[in-house]
Amino acid sequence: MKNKQKILLLLKKHSECTRIELSKSLKISQAAISKLIKSMLQEGYIIEIQKQKKSNSGRNSKYLKLNPDYGLVIGIHFDFDKIKVAVGNLGGEIKEEIFLDVKTTKEIISKVINLIDDLFFRYSILGIGIGMNGIVNNKEGVSIKSTYYNWSNVKLKKNLEERYLVPVRVENGINLLSLYEIGRGVVNKNKNFVLINIAEGVGISVFYNGEFQTGKYYDMGEIGHIPFDYGSDGLLCSCGNKGCIETFLANWRIEKKIKKITGKEYSYMEIIDLSNRKKTLFREVILEMILPLSHIIIWISSLLNFEQIIINGKITESNSFFIENLRRKIKMGILNKDKPINIIETSYEKSKILKGALILIGKEVLFNKF
């Protein structure tokens, strides 16, 4: 591997490095590193930033990072109810965003192809990053199983690379959430963590020993379809089984539950708002989520000692009553009462996965230059 590629690989992994850190990691003299860095700065692959030291003593440190404005890429999020497409820079900043409604799964691919064709006509595109729901083979870029789109083994990477002749990366959408949160500094990339995403489906991202874990069959994290209620009257899940975790936690389930009780339709955010305003009925329905969610966290904590557990989704718009009750329930349920479980709430943002897709392919684009 060429030295410039090795430098990009380290910056891809660690986000930022000093010249000294690069010299030590690559076992190359500081003079040689400086020469390489000078060339890469001139070529525009990387940029240099200054970071102020916490103490007033000494000079500010100079760090190197991948240049987010080197070019434009396309990010795609195959979401549950619509397809989100964006053109943005390599750092996840969106320049243009388009939404496509999903009415029939048969027209999904053709509609996306037509849109990408248009974006390639209007922009100079360097790559395509994709966030997919369901089980994803991120090495070969295959959507193995999507219960929401009712498709199997769709070769997204192969088909798009053959058509557009640019690199394409496909990843589980929840891993892209984690990638985005790492970039924002919400989670520490040097620690093992699990991100639990509660949306129209429920899943987790597992970051362990500096990498996202997928498992041999790429289905690690598909906890939404683990049975929680084995009773005959369990609710039917999108996967065809009854009583899955998803039927207790997913946004659509909470909306249906409220409609069944009140006879009126409320959006999820309206339900959250009413629970925050201490409307008893709505708050009770939100609090009922704590039992299955606490079980998930206790299972995770018992199996592996993760240092951080991140909760993501619209549920994070709840006031402190939700997270405080969740922490209390977990504390009651774990065997080792002295064991710390660091639960972090993120802020809700609808385009996180889309931005994560831009960041994913952005790093790949620069790395493939050498």
pLDDT on residue 213: 92
258 near 271, Cβ under 8 Å?
A: yes
| pLDDT, average across residues 57-75 | 87
Tell me the per-residue pLDDT of 104-138, one tens digit each, with 9 for 90 and over.
777 888 899 999 999 999 999 999 999 998 899 99
pLDDT at 54 over 60: no
Summarize the confidence of residues 204-218 as an average pLDDT. 91
Mean pLDDT of the 327-355 span: 90
pLDDT at 52: 67
Whether residue 17 is predicted with pLDDT greater than 60 in this model: the reply is yes
pLDDT of residue 53: 56
Q: What confidence tens digit (pLDDT) does each residue in 274-284 have?
A: 999 999 999 99
Average pLDDT over residues 347-369: 90
Comparing 101 with 141, the larger pLDDT belongs to 141
Distance between CA atoms of 352 and 95, rounded to whole angstroms?
14
- Of the ranges 2-6, 193-197, 302-306, which is most confident? 193-197
As a whole-number percent, the residues of the chain with pLDDT over 90 amount to 68
CATH 3.40.50.2300 for domain 188-345, yes or no, is no
- Using one digit for the tens of pLDDT, what is the confidence trace for 140-183? 999 999 988 888 999 999 999 999 999 999 999 999 999 999 88
Confidence category of residue 57, pLDDT binned at 50, 70, 90 = low
Q: Is 359 exposed, middle or buried (0-12, 13-18, 19+ CB in 10 A)?
A: buried
Q: What is the average pLDDT across 204-230?
A: 90
User: How many percent of the chain have pLDDT more than 70?
Assistant: 97
- Residue 1's pLDDT band (boundaries 50, 70, 90)? low
* Domain limits, CATH 3.30.420.40, in the chain: 72-177+351-367, 188-345
Confidence of residue 263 (pLDDT cuts 50, 70, 90): very high
pLDDT score at 370: 67
Q: Are 193 and 211 in contact (CB under 8 A)?
A: no
CA–CA distance, 318 with 158 (Å, rounded to integer): 42
- Whether the CB-CB separation of 164 and 125 falls below 8 Å is answered with yes
Higher pLDDT, 236 or 354: 354
pLDDT for residue 58: 57
Q: Which CATH class is domain 3-66?
A: mainly alpha
Residue 228 one-letter amino acid: F
Selection from 270, 232, 276 nearest residue 251 by Cα: 270
Neighbour tally for 136: CB within 10 Å:
27
Mean pLDDT estimate for the chain = 91
What local confidence, expressed as pLDDT, does residue 180 receive?
93
Q: What is the mean pLDDT of residues 317-324?
A: 95
Residue 238 reports pLDDT greater than 90: no
CB-CB contact of 111 with 162 (8 Å): no
The pLDDT, as a whole number, for residue 96 is 97
User: Boundaries of CATH 1.10.10.10 in the chain?
Assistant: 3-66
Residue 158's pLDDT is what?
Answer: 97
Residues 202 and 249: beta-carbon distance below 8 Å: yes
Name the pLDDT band for 297 (thresholds 50, 70, 90). very high
Residue 59: the pLDDT is 67
Round to whole Å and give the CA distance between 295 and 196. 12
Supply the CATH classification number for the domain 72-177+351-367: 3.30.420.40
